[in-house]
């Protein structure tokens, strides 16, 4: 990295205060060295980060992008220090788990609480990551396991799955949709609708399952928008962008913002937990026992 932590610290302060005077005061630093740090950073990056006017400071487009990419660095450094502190007092182990929003519920929270009571020395680190990325991270060791939604048949060698629970799928509709408020709906009645969907790249098993359900109902869904996040898909439905087929949990989370209508035949998906089959660490083995 060409630039220093001090330069980043100065940039963050000016970007958030939009004032060199207030930023210098915040950092307990004189304004001339603060300005030098910003100038040096701009030279290293090769882009102007701030527009400086007599009574106003603002971020340039490059500065805004740089801020978005770096604004979490201070928090990550704080977490790194906290991890080192925990290590020093003996809390050395941690489980790195991926999850998708549809699997999180009160029962899972209770499992985590019980696990922490049994293993107070183990940190549970949860990462909100799409299923496809979770599986890659589990395969290469960056995650110990993951709540990936549906199992995928072409997972990398060394990854195993076990069933957590089954959940019905529902049709999410904008609240003003003609079908909103119905108790149930036939899937084939959505043949002419515009769909928003979870992308096949981020959740291949789920996307394939939805396509197969529609094919069995006699149509191919006309997908006009995709997102790697199911929550984002639900929000797009609420905004009137289209209809979606999602787990029932997502409809409950959205409340009155959408209309969640049961699908005739009550199709379901099976949520699974993915993990490396070696499962060498005792903490991971015990978490799996609790999940079962």
Q: Are residues 127 and 47 in the same domain?
A: no
Number of domains in the chain: 3
Q: Are residues 178 and 44 located together in one domain of the fold?
A: no
Whole-model pTM: value is: 0.64
Residue 247 maps to a domain: yes
For residue 278, pLDDT beyond 70:
no
Same domain membership, residue 252 and residue 279: no
**C-alpha distances in Å from residue 204, one per residue of 45, 130, 151, 196, 269:** 38, 10, 9, 15, 13
My answer on whether 194 and 225 are in the same domain is yes
Distance CA 85, CA 115 (A): 22
Domain boundary among 15, 38, 71: 71
Closest to 189 (Cα-Cα) out of 91, 98, 81, 263: 263
- What pLDDT, on the 0 to 100 scale, is given for residue 88? 64
Would you say residue 207 lies in a domain? yes
Q: Percent of the chain, pLDDT > 90?
A: 48
| pLDDT of 49 | 93
What is the reported pLDDT for 181? 85
Mean pLDDT within 99-121: 83
Domain co-membership, 116 together with 66? no
CA torsion sign for 224, 229, 233, 238 is negative
Q: Do residues 101 and 118 both lie within one domain?
A: yes
The DSSP element (H or E) to which 272 belongs, if any, is strand 268-276
**Residue-number span of the structural domain to which 156 is assigned:** 91-164+271-291
Of 105-109, 165-169, 215-219, 247-251, the range with the lowest mean pLDDT is: 105-109
* Inter-residue contact 83 to 69 (CB < 8 Å): no
How far is CA 216 from each of CA 213, 223, 224, rounded to the nearest angstrom? Answer: 5, 17, 21
Among the residue ranges 77-86, 93-102, 138-147, 201-210, the one predicted with the least confidence is: 77-86
Distance CA 283, CA 186 (A): 45
270 burial class (0-12, 13-18, 19+ CB within 10 angstroms)?
A: middle
Asked whether residue 79 is assigned to any structural domain, the reply reads no
Element (H, E) at 58: strand 56-59
For the cut 60, the answer to whether the pLDDT of residue 92 exceeds it is no
pLDDT band at 120 (very low <50, low <70, confident <90, very high): confident
Q: Across residues 45-50, what is the average pLDDT?
A: 92
- Decide if 282 is inside a domain: yes
Average pLDDT over residues 51-75: 88
| 3-state class (DSSP) for residue 186 | coil
């Amino acid at each position: 990295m060409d630039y220093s932590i001090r330069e980043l610290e100065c940039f963050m302060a000016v970007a958030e205060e939009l004032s060199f005077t207030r930023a210098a005061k915040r950092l307990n630093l004189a304004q001339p060295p603060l300005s030098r740090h910003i100038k040096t950073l701009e030279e290293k990056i090769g882009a102007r980060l701030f527009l400086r006017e007599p009574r106003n400071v603002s971020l340039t487009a490059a500065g805004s992008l740089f801020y978005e990419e770096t604004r979490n660095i201070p928090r990550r450094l704080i977490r790194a220090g906290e991890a080192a502190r925990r290590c020093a007092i003996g809390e050395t182990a941690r489980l790195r788990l991926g999850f998708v929003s549809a699997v999180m519920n009160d029962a899972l929270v209770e499992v985590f609480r019980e696990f922490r009571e049994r293993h107070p020395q183990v940190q549970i680190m949860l990462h909100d990551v799409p299923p496809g990325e979770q599986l890659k991270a589990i395969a290469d060791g960056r995650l110990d396991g993951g709540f990936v939604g549906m199992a995928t048949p072409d997972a990398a060698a060394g990854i195993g799955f076990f069933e957590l629970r089954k959940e019905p799928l529902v049709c999410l509709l904008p609240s003003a949709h003609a079908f909103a408020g119905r108790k149930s709906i036939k899937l084939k009645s959505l043949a002419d609708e515009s769909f928003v969907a979870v992308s096949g790249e981020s959740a291949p098993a789920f996307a394939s399952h939805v396509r197969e359900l529609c094919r069995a109902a006699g149509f191919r869904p006309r997908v006009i928008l995709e997102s790697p996040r199911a929550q984002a898909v639900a929000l797009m439905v609420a905004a009137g962008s289209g209809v979606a087929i999602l787990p029932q949990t997502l409809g409950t989370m959205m409340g009155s913002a959408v209309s969640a209508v049961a699908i005739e035949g009550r199709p379901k998906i099976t949520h699974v937990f993915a993990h490396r089959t070696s499962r060498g660490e005792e903490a991971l083995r015990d978490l799996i026992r609790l999940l079962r």
